[in-house]
Structure 1
């Protein structure tokens, strides 16, 4: 093409033709290489996440509604709905607890042990029987630290109340040869040790006939409490 034609073509907006025109190369697109290790790791994470969600759903689904204690209940006290609450927990099969829908079965019963707020209510902690039965009397006995058995005193435990001679009292030959007088009893409640003195007060149920005698022994300081054997002897 002559210079005159090139100038005319440039004036008309037509790009020049011929060897002088530079060819524009298309952009180079590089294909991404897929790494098998990254893919495997991604699949493993997805699988682990799914398993975690499944475990969480199973744990939530296995929660059980149980009864809880919401305020202090003394031994022998009748339970009311105000003493109890409900909680949903993952309950271990070895833990014995009263189910939430069984509230009606425990309301109106008596506490067989002292109940503390925040604890689960177990079936063995309530009883339909009065801890002091008909024909019995309750005798409170104060025990000094040296008189308290190493074995913890619990409600329902059988004991013997033993009459011992007063300190300084002279024993006759006849009295010394006989066994001390005893009264059978049953622990209803044992308090915590009093601050400073360490004295523990134990409420013991005896027969109505033996109650006044045991109270007299307590007042004169001639009573001792002895744990009975497991078979009650």
Structure 2
């Protein structure tokens, strides 16, 4: 019995030692040390290092890969004190060749309850201005639409609550969208998740 008890105590001690080693294992990861806007190129001054006990389920950029993220663009807005994940950076420009950026101001009642995020597909819809006659159009005709992609969304402006959404459209559609916006006849609609 004494020998059995001693064996159990030894086994328990070994288990505790292994657990402490696992908990004490720390990983060197990349952190964000200052605000980085969507599309901004990352520099070494934007990033820091930290040694943490990292949950295997969490994805963070290793310090060994720091050189691989410097010079890439932020795919989302980055905040100081957060860990940098691989999915938060991209080597691609958020506005591609052949596209134009259209800033669209949305009043509080026009902002979708669903959070607008970079890369999200949207439709720019032309709606008749107040008092505009639609008598020449067939009653079953669909409104004109343009496709776009969210690049960045601002915070709500103090007082007015207006949110500005930067939308990338084709170069051919950019002037049309700007004209609709100027006339107050443009509305932004979320596209289906699969883009159809």
Give the alignment's TM-score, normalised by structure 2.
0.89
1:177 CA drift (Å): 3.6
The yes-or-no answer on 1:143 pairing with 2:106 is: yes
The yes-or-no answer on 1:156 pairing with 2:88 is: no
Whole-angstrom distance in 1 between the partners of 2:41 and 2:99: 19
Larger radius of gyration: 1
1:100 aligned partner? 63
Q: As a proportion of its length, which structure holds more strand?
A: 2
The yes-or-no answer on 1:59 pairing with 2:23 is: yes
Which of the pair has the greater relative contact order for Cα pairs under 8 Å at 6+ separation? 2
Aligned equivalent of 1:183, options 130, 135, 146: 146
Runs of at least 4 residues off by over 6 Å: 47-54
Whole-angstrom distance in 1 between the partners of 2:193 and 2:22: 44
The yes-or-no answer on 1:125 pairing with 2:88 is: yes
- Stretches of structure 1 lacking an aligned partner (at least 5 in a row): 1-43
Task: Name the Cα RMSD after superposition.
Answer: 2.0
Q: Deviations over 1:170-218 (max 9, x none)?
A: 2214254421110000000011111111111000000001001101111
Aligned equivalent of 1:85, options 35, 48, 54: 48
1:59 CA drift (Å): 2.5
1:167 CA drift (Å): 1.2
Aligned equivalent of 2:39, options 65, 76, 83: 76
SS at match of 2:137: helix
Between Structure 1 and Structure 2, how many residues are aligned? 189
SS at match of 2:172: coil
2:3 aligned partner? none
Alignment of 1:169-208 (within 5 A): 169-174=132-137, 176-208=139-171
